[in-house]
Chains A and B, each alone.
Chain A
Amino acid sequence: MRISVQLMIESYNEAQELGENMLNYMKSELYRIRTSKGTYIMFVLFSVLVVLFNLMIYGFKIADSTFPYGTTKFSLGTLADSLQMLILICLVIASVVFAGEFKNNTIKNVVSFGISKTQMYIGKYIVTLLFAFILMPVVALMYALSAYLLLDNSGSQYLILFIKALVINLPIFISCITLGMALFFAVQNEVTGYWIWGTIIVIVPMVLALIGMKVDLLADIAKWLPWNLVASGEMTDTGYVYEWCTYSGAVKSIISGVGFSIVFFIIGITTFRKTEIK
């Protein structure tokens, strides 16, 4: 009894120490992100882009009183049509947080201090997601706010659609970030990582969808891939309705996002643990 209590205390102390290591690692990463110019440039750039987009629509509206697209319906609805662009931005987010660790060879400083590769991988992953969870609402807020301030209010249903597009597809965005991280850690070269990411996320789904027009099995597989999933839908009397807007489509989106996140995470962490640090 005494021995098992002692073992429990030792295991608890060890777990506490491991947790402390990872927490310190995450704190340092957050410090680095907070003090890097690149972080603020990214926030400002994306915020400015979305505001400029709405300013452009506003400009057209002012120039032509019959301009039919000077509305929040058009502006916020554009996001639903641009989810594939948001997927591409996921790679940028992963890249900003990853910060060229292998190019700068800074990983050796972490490993040589005894922080395990697992702790490092998980820590950086959590920080990347935190960064994305802060960036996304800030930019989304700038987007929605500038739309409502500058354009004609078409009603709250478009704001709801805007929020739905972001929230339902969040697991898909997470899976794309996860793949980016996994590739950067696995191939130890960001440029190669970009190419492989682009192939897996963009090219393969497009090719499968194309061939799927002739081969049903491939079409079924293609429909579950994030790049195709965010854009799939059907034309109805009221307009194009995205699949994720429906209950079954939303569930499919979430399952796909969560599933791919888990797979990419496991592949990434397993590969990195076997990698030697140059």
Chain B
Amino acid sequence: MSTYEVIRASQLTKKYGGVCALDHVDITVKQGEIYGLVGNNGAGKTTFLKMITGQCSPTSGELSILSKTEESEKNKARKRTGSIIETPSFYPKLTVEKNMEYYRIQRGIPGKDTVDHILTQVGLLDAKKKKFDALSLGMKQRLGLALALIGEPEFLILDEPINGLDPTGIIEIRNLLLKLNREKNITILISSHILTELSNIATTYGFLDKGILIEQITAEKLSEKCNTYLDISVTDSKKYCALLETKLSCDNYKVMPENHIRIFEVNKKMEDYSSLAILNGIGLLSMEEKRIDLENYYMNLIESVNQ
């Protein structure tokens, strides 16, 4: 089955006065992907998502949504999308049910039982008579997701969708998103600070930092890059590193704060590394085999860019 580009951003730039929120970004999201957008606060994630939803316009560059580039066509394409951008917003004095009914009518979605169905999907049916301003943060987030899902979109744009959810809620939403992606081939663009959660579902990652796309990589390739390493804590990291190079011919390592050393190419026995310290009068505090996860990968990436 051929896939098309749901989102294509070419040299997309957004400036607010003198501040460049997005700097010549090229991002492609293909049909069926779960694209994880990763970045610190102020990296440009929400700015990018707002451009897709039409809340703001690019300063320069091109953005196509479901292969549409012209603004009126993009508006038509947006009807096939659902989104949560920043905190979910609803009318505070209307109930959950009435808020959803309002948007059901607005979006021309037939069937009055649609609202109950979607609220059941996100676990809010019991709270449908509650006013929006009486909901907890987690419930508001679920309602935002309900709005994104109403109308059965082809493409979901989710900005921090699991904010405020309890662990059970996080699992429920994750499973729901995976189900939608697998069963209905819904494309999902999701930004999150909770990298461990993102690593459970994303099939492609985009790493943003200070408005620049540092890397775009599939989960498969990322997994290949995320290898194991040996984390050693010693009393004298400088001396130990010199010994690593001279005695064990190892130069693929990184010195971390507080005398920690990460050795990436572990081609000797564990005893060799421990005895290297002990026999040369260096105190060995700890030694542990670890794996680079998404968090570490991201931190290393940012560090290497900033250097």
Instruction: Indicate, yes or no, whether A interacts with B.
Output: yes
Interface residues of A (CB under 8 A from B): 17, 20-21, 24-25, 27-28, 31-32, 35-38, 99, 104-106, 108-116, 276-278
Cβ contacts under 8 Å, A37 to chain B:
93
Contact of A112 among B78, B87, B94, B98 (CB under 8 A): B78
CA distance A35 to B99 in the complex (A): 10
Check B102 for interface membership: any CB of A closer than 8 A.
yes
Chain B nearest Cβ from A39, distance in angstroms: 11
Chain A nearest Cβ from B53, distance in angstroms: 4
**From DSSP, what is the main secondary structure of chain B's interface residues?**
mixed
> Can you identify 17 A-B contacts, CB atoms within 8 angstroms?
A24-B106, A28-B103, A31-B101, A31-B105, A32-B91, A35-B94, A99-B91, A104-B91, A105-B87, A108-B55, A110-B106, A111-B55, A112-B53, A112-B81, A113-B107, A115-B106, A277-B50
Residue of B nearest to A21 (CB): B108
Pairwise interchain contact A111-B53, C-beta atoms closer than 8 A: yes
Cβ contacts under 8 Å, B56 to chain A:
276-277
Residue of B nearest to A37 (CB): B93
Check B147 for interface membership: any CB of A closer than 8 A.
yes
Pairwise interchain contact B147-A109, C-beta atoms closer than 8 A: yes
Residue of A nearest to B95 (CB): A35
Pairwise interchain contact A108-B106, C-beta atoms closer than 8 A: no
Interface residues of B (CB under 8 A from A): 50, 53-57, 72, 74-79, 81, 83, 85, 87, 89-94, 98, 101-103, 105-108, 147, 157
Pairwise interchain contact A108-B53, C-beta atoms closer than 8 A: yes
Contact of A109 among B72, B89, B108 (CB under 8 A): B89
CA distance A79 to B15 in the complex (A): 53
Pairwise interchain contact A24-B78, C-beta atoms closer than 8 A: no
Pairwise interchain contact B75-A25, C-beta atoms closer than 8 A: no
Pairwise interchain contact A114-B102, C-beta atoms closer than 8 A: no
Pairwise interchain contact A277-B92, C-beta atoms closer than 8 A: no
Chain B nearest Cβ from A106, distance in angstroms: 5
Cβ contacts under 8 Å, A115 to chain B:
75, 106
Residue of A nearest to B101 (CB): A31
Cβ contacts under 8 Å, A114 to chain B:
54, 74-79, 81
Pairwise interchain contact A113-B93, C-beta atoms closer than 8 A: no
Instruction: With A108-B55, A114-B54 as known contacts, state yes or no: A32 contacts B94, CB within 8 Å.
Output: yes
Pairwise interchain contact A112-B85, C-beta atoms closer than 8 A: yes
Residue of A nearest to B109 (CB): A24
CA distance A110 to B79 in the complex (A): 10
CA distance A27 to B101 in the complex (A): 11
Pairwise interchain contact A109-B103, C-beta atoms closer than 8 A: yes
Contact of B78 among A17, A20, A35, A113 (CB under 8 A): A113
Chain B nearest Cβ from A216, distance in angstroms: 45
Instruction: With A24-B107, A25-B106, A110-B106 as known contacts, state yes or no: A104 contacts B90, CB within 8 Å.
Output: yes
Pairwise interchain contact A104-B92, C-beta atoms closer than 8 A: yes
CA distance A17 to B92 in the complex (A): 30
Pairwise interchain contact B78-A31, C-beta atoms closer than 8 A: no
Pairwise interchain contact B91-A24, C-beta atoms closer than 8 A: no
Contact of A108 among B89, B101, B108 (CB under 8 A): B89
Contact of A116 among B75, B81, B89 (CB under 8 A): B75
Cβ contacts under 8 Å, B157 to chain A:
112
Instruction: With A105-B89, A106-B89, A276-B57 as known contacts, state yes or no: A28 contacts B106, CB within 8 Å.
Output: yes
A-B pairs with lowest CB-CB distance, top 7: A114-B78, A28-B106, A112-B53, A105-B89, A114-B75, A277-B55, A28-B105
CA distance A104 to B87 in the complex (A): 11
Residue of B nearest to A117 (CB): B54
Pairwise interchain contact A24-B105, C-beta atoms closer than 8 A: yes
Residue of A nearest to B106 (CB): A28
Contact of B55 among A24, A32, A36, A112 (CB under 8 A): A112
Cβ contacts under 8 Å, A36 to chain B:
93-94
Instruction: With A24-B106, A106-B90, A114-B77 as known contacts, state yes or no: A35 contacts B55, CB within 8 Å.
Output: no
